[in-house]
Every structure is written in structure tokens, then in C-alpha cells.
Structure 1
Amino acid sequence: MNPAMIPLVVSLMTGQVAPAAPAQAPRSETQAPQKPSQVPGIAALPGQPNLWVSNVPAVPDAFRRRMEQYLEARSAGLTDIRDDGKEMLIVTRFADTNQLHVVEMPMGARTQITFTKEPINQAQFQPGNARVIYYLQDTGGGEFFQVFRLNRDTGRSELLTDGKSRHQSLQVSSDGRWLTYSGTGRNGKDTDVYVAPTSDPRQARRLTQEEGSWGAIEFSADGSKLLVSQYRAIDDVDLYVVDVATGERRPLTPQGQGKGGVTTARFARDGKSVYVVTDRYSDFAELYQVDLDKAPPATPPESLTKSVRWNVTDLSLSPDGRRLAVSFNEDGYSKVSLLDTRTRKLSPVDSLPQGLVFGVEFPRQRSDMLALTLADAKSPMDAWTLDLKTRKATRWTRSEVGGLNPDSFAAPTLVRYPSTDGVQVPAFLYLPKNATGKVPVVVIFHGGPEGQSLPSFSTFAQFAATELGMAVLVPNVRGSDGYGKAYRAMDDGVKREQSLADIGATLDFIASRKELDASRVGVYGGSYGGYMTLASVAFFPERVKAAVDVVGISSLPSFLENTQAYRRDLRRAEYGDERIPEVRKVQERISPLGSVDKIRAALYVQQGANDPRVPQSEAEQIVQAVRKRSPDVWYMLATDEGHGFQKKANRDFAQLTALMFFERQLSSPAQPKP
């Protein structure tokens, strides 16, 4: 999905601007650090003062040694390719955080070009001058991203934005003249679209100044027009074309005629029409062409991908305008096809390895090459190109997995099982090789809620299956994306109560499998997956032994009241408005915090102190409530992280201790004495 279309989703198994932190007097050597938490017994971790823990025991050296190689796995994600296709800009990690690197040939060296303490995950070459790069970066995981410009000749980066507002949707026009991004600088709540000349990028002006969340998608080839989205919810997005010079805005999607999501959009080469990926006219996100002089269309346009009944996830138009690269999500796996824009014939590309495809892009001056990121369950993300003349795929990077043999890893199997309301829950099941007897199970719930668990490489899942001999089950419960908008909407608002039945269905599926031990089940999840984790132990207390909640929601009403203001209305569209008494009543009934007296499972909670999405208070209120009857709850707080853990040392500790926790709680039961 184009990052311009939705708020950034931090990788987890996806308002009012927070003021800059005030300057503090330096702390003396003997002065004790101020506690960042109200949880009793919390203390800074020796050697890692940014990590604070309570009840978390030290990791045994033997366990750490077993996992060290898994923790050294890295990935390489494509962020851009040079105009002529002869240099890639990638994100990878060789130290503590993801940084920008360039690769000049297939399997060439990764040359690092940024060296900062904070991660960088989105960047773009300036078209026509690859010595200039624009990128987004935040501080401490707070997601108040700033726009920077890197001059590769000097090696210096300069800040282009205000240093305090939140920015996203970074794009540069294909002629290299214009820079655009969106930001909350006007009032800290609404997200406006800005545009600036690259010759003087600090002279940005607003193209939109409206209530809500607006984002830039793409400039027309001549740079005169800009596609802009207004995002209210994943199923309620409007698309506009804006004149860059005057700010005049015209709708491309029907107004006042029902809702529809928009995944991404691209201008045709002549600028007279737009290719739009939307689920407005179908249960799935399909590709349509909309003529600007007839927009918004009075009747549904013809789908260009109606032969494929799955979501279109990504789109790229060749510089000559003759081909569209179209990526589909087919039951969790990626398929790429090429659409001839003259004949509208769709041709599958069969030469790519099976797995997941992200970010398909044509170089700006090459119509015979496609650049993309590929991954699968046994291999991390890597950058590839596809020669469209020969259909030969060429690998540009090969990411390491700590020296381990990927052939030893577990491959997931796609399964389905029934739930209530006729729902069939799709899930990926990882089974340990050569297991004998019933094995314990860890269920991993994705975030979102409109996320989707994919068969991607996971050090967590592979270590659990390969080293600990545990099965890993990764379900896509109702409300997940990827299976049609009707399935995705099945948990909206007060319907979320019905989605809890999918937890029970998941546990029933485990009990139905002869190789899985239903008496040794653990649950793990981040963000909304953290809510599902807590809901599992609160509402199915006798069926779950252990749970790890990562930046999870413990109370839906307090979460909605305390999430950042720029997100609040977006989340109310998904969870329901807590200000409406009858809605709040349901939210309170299905909030784990209200049922802590039922929780029997061992619990470990992990949180980032700077989380703008699910604030620290959500973690601490559940920890303190459960401790009233079970004082051994584990708690970890990272003071330099937000919605998840992006710094390697923090992520390593979080994964090490989570897997150690599951090993302790789900290890084989004692054998009866003879």
C-alpha cells in the first residue's frame, strides 16, 4: 500500500503535536535517574539504561548463545532506484538501526551513506540528481517525522521542516522540481499537504488546509498536478487532483455516494487520466482508469483486473506509459502481472521466486526494468530487478541470517478453520521439524486491526519452531485486510465483540490437531495484536498459559482518549466513538482491563515510552491491575522507543526475553512418577 494513503504503520508482527522535550540540566554521576514509570520495582537494566524492567530475570548465557545468530539476521528493503536503473537506494542495518545504503550493481557492496542513531526507513533520490536524497526520520520512536535532505557530495544532511510537527507522504516530482509531504504544523491535529521547490525546499506552502488527514501520492509527469488523498478510514478515502500552481482541487472519486477505500493511484503518462486502485466498486481493491475530464465517474468504470479476485496492492507505470506493473495479494502471497495499457491485457510474471513482493517501481528512464523487494518465510527482504525483455529476475542483495542454513527453517502451511457467523479464519501454521508427540503452540496476532499476517521471515517464529520445538500459528481473524472489504469490516465498531469468537475458534483449531498441545498455548501480539493477546487471557482464561503483550491496548475507551489527537478520529472510525454511551458500554465490556480478575495466564508486557499510538498508560494500567492478584507479571519499558522496537539492542532484548518467557511457561510438563 502506498504510504501516502494511510498513516504510517510501524512494523509489528501497522494529533496534538507533542512539544519538544525541554532541555534538562546534565545529571551528575551520582544522581539516580528519574524513573520513567509508575510500576513498582522497576529499575534500569544494567548496561542498557534506556531499558527499564520489573520482574524480568536475566537471560541465561546458554539461551542467549542459542539465539545470537537469529538476532543477527538483517534485511535489505528497496526505497528507490536511480533514473537509469544503475544504482539502488536501500534500507539495511549493519549497526544498531536501519540506515540508507546504495548498491551500484547486482550483489555489489552496500555502501552506507547515513550514520545516525535513529532509524531511517523511507527515502527517495532527487530525479535528475542522484547525489541528493530526501528522507524521513523521527526521534525516539515518537513518529514526529521530519524531512531531511542529504547531499552525498558533502555527506551532510539538513533539516527542511520545523523539527516538531509530524510529517509523512514524502514524494519528489519526476522532473525533480517539486518536493511534497504532509504535516501537522498548522494545528497539531490535522494533516495538510505541503509543496516546495527543490531549489529552495524550505519555502513550502500548503496545498490543502482542511480538517482531517490529507496525503500526497504522486505528481503528474510534467509536475503541474498532484494526486492527493483524504483519509478518514481504510474504507473511506477520497482522491483529488490538485493544481500545483493555484491549489485548485477537483475530486476523482464520487462525493456523497457511499464509501470506498483507495490503495494507491498513478497518473497516466499524458496526465489526462489516472489509474486508481480502489474497493469502491467491488469487494476487493481493483484497478480502474479514470479520465480527468469525466471525473468523478457517473457510473462505475470498468475494472482492469476483474479476472483476479484478490486485492491489488501496488502499482507502477513505465516511463513510456505502455506498461503497468501490478502486484496482487493472493491469499497472503504476492503475484506480479504486467498490464498493456493499450490492449489492457494482463500478463502474469512467472519468473519471480514465490513469496512476498513490496514496492514495485520502474526506474524513471527505463521501461524495460522493474525494481522490487522480495521476501519469503525462510529469507529476509532483499532487493531485486526484473528484465522485462527476458523476464529474468536478478538479485541485487543477499541478506544474512546469522550464518544459519535457511533450509533448516520451518515453512508455513496455509490453513483455514471455522468460527461463528460463517467465518473461515485463514492462518499460517509453522510446525517444528522432526517433532514427536504434541508440541506447545504460540499464537501470534497481527496489529492494525486492519493488518494482515503474511508468510514473511520472522526470527521470532523461526527460533520458536526450530530451536524451542514449538508450533507457531499466525491467524488473520475477521477484520484483517486482504480477504475483501466485507471480511475487513466484520469487526468495525461494536462488531468487535463478535471478533473475540475468532480467538475461541483458534483455540478450538489447536485442540483439533493431533500434533498440537492445547494445554500449552501461548499468545503474542503487538498493538491491536496486543489487545487480542490480552483479550485471549481475559476471556479464555483456562485455555491460555502465557501471554506477551507488546504495545497493546488494555482498555478501548482509555486508548481512544489518550492516543495522539492526529489519530483519534481515524481510530474512532475503526473502534467506534467512545463518547457515545452505548458504544462505550460495549468497549468497556470487551476491554481486558475490566476482566483482570479472570486472568490466570503468566503475563509479560513490553512498551515504548514514546508511543504516540498506544500510550504507555495502556501497558502500566494492565500490569498494575494484574499484579494485584499475580505479582510476578514481567514488564519492560524502552525509553527511546515508540510503537515497537526499532533499535537492535532493544529489539534483541525484547525478543530474547519474550522467547525465554515462553520456554519457561510452555516447556514440557513433568512426567508422572512411575
Structure 2
Amino acid sequence: QPGGARTQLTFFPDRVDSAYYDPTKGDSFIFTKGAGGNEFNQNYRYDFATGNVTLLTDGKSRNSGPDWSNRSGQIAYTSTRRNGADTDIYVQAPSDPKTDRLLAEVKGGGWSISDWSPDDKQLLVTEYVSINESYLWLFDAQTGERKEITPRPAEGAEKVAYGHALFAPDGKGVFVTTDRESEYQRLAYIDLASGNHVFLQPHAKWDVDNWDLSPDGKWLAYTLNENGTSTLHVMQLDTSRATVTARPVKDPTFEPPLRAPVISGLRWHRDPKQALLAFNVNSARSPSDVYTWSAAGGRGTSARWTASETGGIPASQFAEPELVSWKSFDDREITGYLYQPDSAKFPGPRPLIINIHGGPEGQFRPGFAGRNNYFINELGCAILFPNVRGSTGYGKTFLQLDNGLKREDSYKDIAALLDWVPSRSNLDPARVMVTGGSYGGFMTLAVATNYADRIKCALDVVGISHLATFLKNTESYRRDLRRVEYGDERDPQMLEFMERTAPLNNAHKITKPMFVVQGANDPRVPKSEAIQIVDTLKQQGTPVWFLMANDEGHGFAKKKNADFQFYATIQFIREHLLK
């Protein structure tokens, strides 16, 4: 019920990453977690009656979360168990872990389970090659026999990406998001008999980034990613004819209205009579909360189910971001979100933190800023989160503008941002810090290398210092997936480019203070990437701080470590940005 009490069920040193409720019996759920940040997640079954937790996987390999069947009490998941690299498909009845079996061997680390067919006889499986290329397959849930249902493009033709996919209730087709014949991800229906695609949004101008289909197939809810914020929409479907048709209905409304929200986790209630949609809402002044919207009776009523705490700080004190834009070297518009402190409390031009997102196939979206609010409200810093070329959310052309040999063009987007800063009287171009995590850490090092005279300091969190050494040492299940984005270091031309442009090989250009943060168990960006840049900076006398947690991976998840990193960051900012 709305406002109901929350009860914690699991207590482990490491965080639980996700949980999946048994949709038939309701007597258990499955959760996934790794150890020490290693991301080699295992699946566990939690029994509601006893509170007992049972390990379902081998305890060693990397396993995906499960996808529950509709009525047979089985789950399907992927695992690197066979060779550490390929994400093979497994099926299991969680009530009896001994039923675990290998359904099909595959090649590559990008395979994932999308859905079970309504009769539980088939699995809908996605083969992910890159952010711009993926394919859909059907696997027989008993024999593992497979059939590809999306066509491969001809040699040299444009690649196609398929996103979230679900079976239609009659099992005769699949609903999916895809950028086929479009710049953006849009909703489509694929007829399994003919392979024909019916596009439910003929003229998409933004990506559909989240959606769900009601169990009876009559309703489809989706969000559009409009420059980082979400808009929620609903359509009614008619599948009774030869061709699926969609009719938009009035958009859900909320009281009070939602301000620049980021909406995720759309899910329809299993009882079609309720026509009840649940979802998460996050915004600059509110951590994630659960809302519902009901189409029952044509009333379109909404309700808020949770009210997340903000530590006693009035929500009105959290800065709301401004969407800003600037022109890059090729006259392309780049956008970002700027958070600014209260001008009455902090008058005059403010020091600026440029925080670059990871991925690079990612996007900063204006959700709750968490601890970043301290830098704004207490230290008086402005923070700007840019979405440089290569970010998602702006079409597939923009997404590919930093691939391979075009990598340096994304650095120039930050150079153009530094050119833009003096045009804002409330920002101080003489006090700029650049930071970022993962690929954002790599960008931080690249900016510190190429534009040292334009920044005051830099903070690299789990960042790459040399793309070639990163590709050599990252976990094997990720290697080929990353080569598509960064380039293949086995190609002589690409290796020469990586060697020439690597921050590690240009570290002599890094002259401003640097803070490097790393998790010792990081499977994505190995600790060697941090150690080699720190050692080089120390040898040449560049001021460098180094923080490594022995029980963390790709970012700090444990509160004690996150707190230490936060306090150390505050001290670094005070020493090297604010003075």
C-alpha cells in the first residue's frame, strides 16, 4: 500500500545488486551479488518462510540475473562458467539447485535473456555486439535449438541495434525498441512468421529508453529521453487484426507535477483488470521513489508509494540544474547540465567542477545529485556534467562520433566547453577541476594531458590510462565488446594511435595536481591502469594523491570506503581548487 513500511531482508558486507520475485508461487525471490566489487555475481534464493539463503550458481563464474518463466517455475540466465569469456545460456528450477543445466553454448560476452514465450517453450535472447549492433534470437527452452529472427545487414551496410524485447501475449510476435531505419530507438512489433517490422512510432525524435507491455497486451507504457529528462506516455494496442496498431492515450499526470524527472523501472501489474503501472521517479530534489498510475475505468489516477528521506535537509535547498549548450570545433552543439550554488550565500564567480560521465556509451541525466550537493551547497562550487559526442540519447550518428580514430574529437568538446566558461559571469575560468569515473576517468586524464594550462586540478576515478594496456588486461568477457568502441589494439594503425595519444605516454604534459581513486578488484578497469599513471606522475614530480581500496571494484560501494573517498575529495578540492 502507498506509504507502507519497508523491511530489510538481506545483510551482507557486499551490496545486493538486484532481486527477482517468484511470479507464480510468491514464496521466494532470487537476488544477485558479487564479492569485493569483483562483479562475478552469483544468484541466491531467499525463502520467505524460513529466511534461508541458498546459492544457486557455481560461486566462481560471472552470472547474469535470472529471467523467470511464466508458469513452469524455471529461470534462465547466462554464465561465463564454461571458459570465463562466453556468456552461455543456463536453465534451472530454483527450488532445486541440482536442476541447473547448460542449455546452449554461445560465442561472445554480450548474450542476455530477454523473455520467455507465453507457453514457456522458447527463450527470447539478445546478442549484443556493440551499442550500435545487436540481434534477437529464439532458443528452444528444452533442446537449445536456435533461430535468428532479426536480419544481419549486408557487408558495409549500417548496423542495427535492438533494445528491450518482450513476447506478445499470443507468442506470435515480439515487441522491441530498435533504431532500424531510424536515428533513434523507437518501438516496433516483429511478426515472427514473416519477420516484418511494424513501427509503432513512425516519427521518433527522441529515444524510447524504458517501456513495458501489460500482460493482456492491451497497454504499452514508455518513456522518451528528451535531453536527459523523461516524459511518460501510454498507448493502447490492437492485436486483433493482421497488423498491430497503436493509439496514444492521454499522458499520465501527477499532483504535484513532476519537475524534470528521470523515470525508470516501468512495470505493469500482473492482473490486467487493475491496468496498474508502477515506476521509479528520480529528480534533482528527490531520490528515487515508487509511483503508480492506473488506467482502470478511464480515470488515469496516480499515486506515490514511497517518500525517500533526504537526511533532514529540506529538498528546496538542493540545486536544480540548468540545461546549457555550446558549439564545438566542428560547429556541433554539445549540451550539459549545470548545477550552481546559491548566489546569496556564495556571491561572485564560482569555481567549476566538470564531471564527465563514463561509458562512453552513457549519458548524464539530471537526477538526484547525492553527495555532489555538498560540493554545491557547502563548498560553493558549480558542477557541470557534459554529454560529449559518443553519449547516448542524441541519436546513433552522435553516438558513433568518438569511435576508434575519432577519439580525440571528444576531448575537443571539453576544450570548447572551457572556451565557453568565461561567457558565464558566475563561473570562474581560473578555478576549474575536471573529474570523471571509468571512461570519464580516461577523459579526465586526457583533458589533464591536453589542456593542463586551462585547469587547476583533476580527479580520476577508476579511469583508463592507456587503451591498449586496458584492452590487454580487462576481463576476457568484456574485451571484444570494448574493442568495437575503442578500436582493436591488434591492428597496427590503431595501436600506433593508442600509443601516441595515451595519457600514460603523455604524462609529462600533466602538470596540475592529480587525485587517482581505484578499487583493487576492478574487473573492468584493472588496478594496473591506476598504478602505472600514479607511478609515472610521482617519478616526474607532479603532485599526485592515490587512494586504493582493497575490497572494492569499479567504484566504491561500501559505505566506509565511499565516506573515506568523499572526505578525501573534499580535502583535495579545498587544497587544490578553492585556494
- 1:558-637 correspondence runs (5 A): 558-630=469-541, 632-637=543-548
CA distance in 2, matches of 1:202, 1:608: 35
Cα offset, 1:459, TM superposition: 2.2
* Aligned position for 1:30: none
CA distance in 1, matches of 2:536, 2:570: 24
- More moved, 380-389 vs 105-114: 380-389
- 1:390-429 correspondence runs (5 A): 390-429=299-338
- 1:472-511 correspondence runs (5 A): 472-511=383-422
1 or 2 for the larger relative contact order (CA 8 Å, sep ≥6)?
1
2:573 is matched by which residue type in structure 1? F
CA distance in 2, matches of 1:153, 1:646: 30
* Aligned position for 1:247: 144
2:289 is matched by which residue type in structure 1? D
Note if 1:237 corresponds to 2:134.
yes
Asked if the contact 1:168/1:182 (under 8 Å) is kept, the reply is yes
CA distance in 1, matches of 2:390, 2:98: 41
1:608 is matched by which residue type in structure 2? G
* Aligned position for 1:122: 18
Note if 1:261 corresponds to 2:161.
yes
CA distance in 2, matches of 1:348, 1:312: 18
Cα offset, 1:279, TM superposition: 1.1
* Aligned position for 1:378: 285
* Aligned position for 1:351: 253
* Aligned position for 1:281: 181
Cα offset, 1:273, TM superposition: 0.5
Deviations 1:38-65 (A, max 9, x none): xxxxxxxxxxxxxxxxxxxxxxxxxxxx
Cα offset, 1:151, TM superposition: 0.3
Structure 2 counterpart of 1:322, from 202, 213, 218: 218
- More moved, 484-493 vs 457-466: 457-466
CA distance in 2, matches of 1:474, 1:608: 23
What SS does the aligned partner of 1:644 have?
A: coil
Moved over 4 A (4+): none
CA distance in 1, matches of 2:68, 2:564: 38
Asked if the contact 2:252/2:302 (under 8 Å) is kept, the reply is no
2:74 is matched by which residue type in structure 1? W
2:271 is matched by which residue type in structure 1? Q
What SS does the aligned partner of 1:167 have?
A: coil
Deviations 1:552-603 (A, max 9, x none): 0011111111101110000001000011111011112221111111112111
Cα offset, 1:121, TM superposition: 2.1
| Residues 590 and 304 of structure 1: CA distance in aligned 2, closer, same or farther (over 3 Å) | same
Structure 1's unaligned 5+ residue stretches are 1-104, 669-674
CA distance in 1, matches of 2:506, 2:264: 40
* Aligned position for 1:206: 102
* Aligned position for 1:665: 576
CA distance in 2, matches of 1:602, 1:127: 53
Asked if the contact 2:184/2:395 (under 8 Å) is kept, the reply is yes
CA distance in 2, matches of 1:271, 1:350: 29
- More moved, 515-524 vs 212-221: 212-221
Structure 2's unaligned 5+ residue stretches are 239-244
1:467 is matched by which residue type in structure 2? E
- 1:85-104 correspondence runs (5 A): none
Identity of aligned residues (%): 42
- 1:60-209 correspondence runs (5 A): 105-209=1-105
Cα offset, 1:169, TM superposition: 4.1
Cα offset, 1:388, TM superposition: 2.2
Cα offset, 1:347, TM superposition: 3.0
- More moved, 445-454 vs 580-589: 580-589
Cα offset, 1:159, TM superposition: 0.4
Deviations 1:431-471 (A, max 9, x none): 11124211100000000010100001122331111111111
Cα offset, 1:631, TM superposition: 5.5
Give the alignment's TM-score, normalised by structure 1: 0.81
Note if 1:651 corresponds to 2:567.
no
Asked if the contact 1:427/1:474 (under 8 Å) is kept, the reply is yes
Asked if the contact 1:128/1:175 (under 8 Å) is kept, the reply is yes
CA distance in 1, matches of 2:404, 2:227: 25
CA distance in 1, matches of 2:211, 2:117: 15
What SS does the aligned partner of 2:98 have?
A: coil
* Aligned position for 1:219: 116
Asked if the contact 2:388/2:410 (under 8 Å) is kept, the reply is yes
CA distance in 1, matches of 2:499, 2:374: 36
CA distance in 1, matches of 2:106, 2:419: 48
Deviations 1:378-432 (A, max 9, x none): 2111122222233222222211111101101110011111102232111001111
Asked if the contact 1:240/1:252 (under 8 Å) is kept, the reply is yes
1:303 is matched by which residue type in structure 2? F
CA distance in 2, matches of 1:476, 1:545: 22
What SS does the aligned partner of 2:365 have?
A: coil
1:520 is matched by which residue type in structure 2? R
2:162 is matched by which residue type in structure 1? V
CA distance in 1, matches of 2:263, 2:468: 37
Asked if the contact 1:432/1:469 (under 8 Å) is kept, the reply is yes
Structure 1 counterpart of 2:230, from 317, 320, 334: 334
Structure 2 counterpart of 1:311, from 173, 187, 207: 207
CA distance in 2, matches of 1:346, 1:584: 50
2:371 is matched by which residue type in structure 1? F
1:282 is matched by which residue type in structure 2? S
Asked if the contact 1:385/1:394 (under 8 Å) is kept, the reply is yes
Cα offset, 1:226, TM superposition: 1.1
Deviations 1:13-46 (A, max 9, x none): xxxxxxxxxxxxxxxxxxxxxxxxxxxxxxxxxx
Cα offset, 1:346, TM superposition: 2.2
CA distance in 2, matches of 1:114, 1:224: 33
What SS does the aligned partner of 1:536 have?
A: helix
Asked if the contact 1:176/1:198 (under 8 Å) is kept, the reply is no
CA distance in 1, matches of 2:271, 2:145: 30
What SS does the aligned partner of 2:66 have?
A: strand
1:357 is matched by which residue type in structure 2? I
Deviations 1:600-633 (A, max 9, x none): 2111110000000000000011111111233541
CA distance in 2, matches of 1:605, 1:219: 44
Note if 1:538 corresponds to 2:438.
no
**What's the C-alpha RMSD, in Å, of the aligned pairs?**
1.4
CA distance in 1, matches of 2:457, 2:7: 43
CA distance in 2, matches of 1:338, 1:245: 36
* Aligned position for 2:242: none
Asked if the contact 2:31/2:65 (under 8 Å) is kept, the reply is no
Cα offset, 1:207, TM superposition: 2.9
Give the alignment's TM-score, normalised by structure 2: 0.94
Cα offset, 1:252, TM superposition: 1.9
Cα offset, 1:348, TM superposition: 5.1
* Aligned position for 1:88: none
What SS does the aligned partner of 1:168 have?
A: coil
Asked if the contact 2:184/2:204 (under 8 Å) is kept, the reply is no
1:529 is matched by which residue type in structure 2? G
* Aligned position for 2:241: none
Aligned residues, how many? 560
